Amino acid sequence: MTSDSAADDSPEVAGQASAADDSLTILCTSIEGSAVLTKRLGEAKARELFSEHDRIVREALEAHGGLELKAMGDAFAISFSRVTRALECAIVTQRAFAEHGDSAAEPFKVRIGLNTGEAISADDPDGVDRLAAAVDMAERIAAQAEGGEILASNFVRDLAASGEFVFDDRGPSDQHAFDDPERVYELSWREA
């Protein structure tokens, strides 16, 4: 993988796969079994756990140039202008959660889903709806993942076709989660 540095802030960086200039890659996280954790631990302890999730995700998104769209207690939606940055952020995030789980008294696992969609343009009144649809799809893809997995839409996989990332075809998504079943791909993130 490429590493991000201050020089990578330019949109002209070679080797950084990007969607069209008017597209964003959306990364969504959610803590697996958060309702069960809250019930078992109680509100105060669960909030402490969720705060650790928030810290890890925000550190990764900041390091990779992500923009927090929304935080929902046990989940995030983040946008990236470059698909490679979103994928790198997803990998770093899962590695941080795995490391945290090795030492935590109360380990938890996080699901990650990625999708690419159109960005909002000031002169496009339908842009908000299209971005919301891209976020919704990323959330649905994340919901298809097991804790510790990163799933991506076909479009994300196609944009990252440089060979830098390894994807396994998971086949059509759960048809109950989507109007039209979407092919999803698992992004490999564990170091060999």
Tokens of 172: 């059509």
Per-residue pLDDT band at 75 (split at 50, 70, 90): very high
Per-residue pLDDT band at 2 (split at 50, 70, 90): very low
pLDDT exceeds cutoff 60 at 128: yes
Give the pLDDT confidence of 162-184 residue by residue, as tens digits: 778 999 999 887 655 556 667 89
- Percentage helix, strand, coil, to 5, in the chain? 40, 25, 35
> Is residue 128 exposed (0-12), middle (13-18) or buried (19+ Cβ within 10 Å)?
exposed
Q: At what angle do helices 34-41 and 43-63 cross, to 10 degrees?
A: 140
Mean model confidence pLDDT for the chain = 82
pLDDT exceeds cutoff 60 at 58: yes
Question: What number is the average pLDDT over the span 143-164?
Answer: 91
In the chain, domain spans: 20-187
Flag the least confident range among 9-13, 96-100, 167-171, 186-190: 9-13
pLDDT exceeds cutoff 50 at 160: yes
Q: Comparing 128 with 60, which gets the higher pLDDT?
A: 60
pTM passes above 0.75:
yes
Question: What number is the average pLDDT over the span 58-86?
Answer: 94
Does domain 20-187 correspond to CATH entry 3.30.530.20?
no
Amino acid 174: pLDDT: 65
CA distance 117 to 120: 10
Amino acid 73: pLDDT: 83
Supply the DSSP symbol for 133: H
Q: In terms of DSSP bridges, do strands 110-118 and 150-153 run parallel, antiparallel, or are they unpaired?
A: parallel
Amino acid 13: pLDDT: 32
